[in-house]
Structure 1
Amino acid sequence: MIQKLKEKINFKINSIQFVKREGLTFLDIEIPETSLDQIEEKSKIILNLIHEIDDDNIDYYLNVYSEGTEKEIDLKNINLFIDQYLLVKTNKHYLHKVEWEGHLIENNINDIVIKINNKGRIQKLKINKKDISFIKTTAKLRKEK
């Protein structure tokens, strides 16, 4: 069934496999989407395809999930992440900190520029690429009042 499903799915999937957990069988399908709406939409498509091709008499639960929002970034590919929310760690202090979250707004030869919230003030922070020890995409969380 997995091979038939792979042939029918017309979008990218990272992995698909049957897995046993606590005595139950799951069909785990990881997709590269991060939006809940996209995950729900793709889950419905997968479910419809399963109804078309499922000729196995196996009881299982469908588990469609995301690879997640947080991905480490290679600076060579930083242009792909313009306008995305990033976590940047540096080995040198910038405005008295070595870790910043913000939207990437520029990629220059020697530095990047992120838009940050610095104690309630929105400002641009220029960081030299040589000072970056780690950079990844991250989810922006809002505090509920």
Structure 2
Amino acid sequence: MTFTVVKVEPCLVGGLVVPGAEPGVFGESGDLTDFTLERLRLRKIRDLVAVFNCQPRVGWSAVFGYRLGNPDDLEVGDSMIRVDERYAARFVPDGPSPDLYKDLWRQVEMAEKEGAITRAYTQEVAVIPERGEPELYISVI
């Protein structure tokens, strides 16, 4: 398990909304998530960002897309979400794996079960580059 606690700076992310997408390996929303990621790749968006956001009344949803320099960079038809400034546990792959993204979520589950982190369950951010290793930023209390 490889993580450090870091301060996440605020940023804007634009992209496509996947309602009901919960943090973790894409379960029930998997087909819609895969379709969404495919659409973004077709748009030549190489370094993807997924922001999982929880609203107490409606549950989880996610915006899969790209970082914005400013709101004017938002593509027509896309949604925008603000990533809040906060402290997060930053997870990186801890070795070779056939699926680095699944491995990261496994690390998060282990860290939570072992009491190494206490999740806030507010905003979780996944950075999924076209090349290189993915990162997860898990909100902590």
Greater relative contact order (Cα < 8 A, sep 6+): 2
Q: TM-score, normalised by structure 2?
A: 0.25
Which has the larger Rg? 1
Q: TM-score, normalised by structure 1?
A: 0.25
